[in-house]
Amino acid sequence: MNDAQSRASETSFPRSACPVTNTLDIIGDKWTLLVIRDLLLGKHLYGEMMQSPEGIASNILSNRLQRLEQAGLIVKRPYQSNPVRYEYHLTAKGQDLQPVLQAIVAWARRHVPGVVVFPEVKQDERNEDG
């Protein structure tokens, strides 16, 4: 075990007690924040998210929805039976990532030429506790 790792293991966190690190352990990849973006934009069904322009693979979407549910950022609830099908909603914890998304959008508008911002985020979403 090296110095950096032994320092990290002094805490109960997998990598370190840093807030950035622990947030990245949840949202630190190329797809998770796009799922959250879609949910903030009012998409709640698997098929709706599949249709987003990035073309997420179905196994990746499935995996990210599971991880987000486990992390308490979204809840999954049935919207029909026979066959039972689910819709996904952000919890308060998930919705609180909106400022992160907004900061990212602000950065991209300044520094990545040609990006097109999606329609305004809905403000009428209901909070769910997860």
**Chain residues that interact with DNA, rule: CB under 7 A:** 2, 29-31, 45-48, 55-60, 62-63, 65, 81-83, 85-87
Q: How far is the CB of 117 from DNA (least distance, A)?
A: 23
46 binds, among a copy of itself, DNA, none (CB under 5 to 8 A by kind): DNA
- Report the b/e string of 83-121 with b at 16+ CB within 10 A: eeebebbbbebbbebbeeeeeeeeeeeeeeeeeeeeeeb
Distance CA 80, CA 68 (A): 22
Q: How far is the CB of 109 from DNA (least distance, A)?
A: 24
Q: How far is the CB of 42 from DNA (least distance, A)?
A: 14
